[in-house]
């Protein structure tokens, strides 16, 4: 008797978990601004300063966490599915390395 109920409880719990995950995904997609199509060449972006995650001293605490603006020079064709970009300064100087798309956000004037 209890084993039969146990199996039913597990199925019900799995159904609830799937429904809640779908609701959370829908909420996230509706409420957050997500860059789905990638960035276009000549678009202005800000670059996440990953060093601020490491240094949490009181001096760095209120510093800007985003650097830039920078311009998208090109999307790397060697890794189109990963969303890596080549950036340049506003004066046209190219960055030495590519930048992953998760470290970028659109610059709004």
Interval 1-42: pLDDT, tens? 777 788 899 999 999 999 999 999 888 877 766 556 678 899
C-alpha to C-alpha distance for 106 and 93, rounded to whole angstroms: 19
Alpha carbon separation from 9 to 18, 19, 62, 93 (Å, rounded): 14, 15, 49, 61
What's the whole-number average pLDDT of the chain? 86
Q: Is the pLDDT of residue 56 over 90?
A: no
C-alpha to C-alpha distance for 93 and 71, rounded to whole angstroms: 10
Residue 73 confidence class, pLDDT cut points 50, 70, 90: very high
Question: Whole-prediction pTM value?
Answer: 0.63
C-alpha to C-alpha distance for 25 and 23, rounded to whole angstroms: 5
Burial of 71: CB neighbours in 10 Å, binned 0-12, 13-18, 19+: buried
> Which of 43-47, 52-56, 98-102 comes out lowest in average pLDDT?
52-56
C-alpha to C-alpha distance for 76 and 95, rounded to whole angstroms: 13
Instruction: Please name the residue that has the structure tokens 């601004």.
Output: 33
């Amino acid at each position: 008797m209890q084993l039969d109920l146990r199996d039913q409880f597990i199925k019900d719990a799995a159904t609830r978990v799937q429904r809640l995950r779908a609701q959370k995904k829908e909420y996230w997609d509706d409420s957050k601004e997500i860059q789905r199509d990638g960035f276009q060449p000549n678009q202005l972006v800000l670059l996440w300063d990953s060093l601020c995650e490491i240094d949490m001293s009181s001096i760095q605490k209120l510093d800007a966490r985003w650097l830039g603006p920078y311009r998208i020079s090109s999307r790397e064709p060697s890794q189109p599915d990963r969303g890596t970009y080549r950036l340049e300064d506003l004066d046209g100087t190219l960055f030495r390395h590519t930048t992953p798309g998760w470290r970028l956000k659109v610059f709004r004037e």
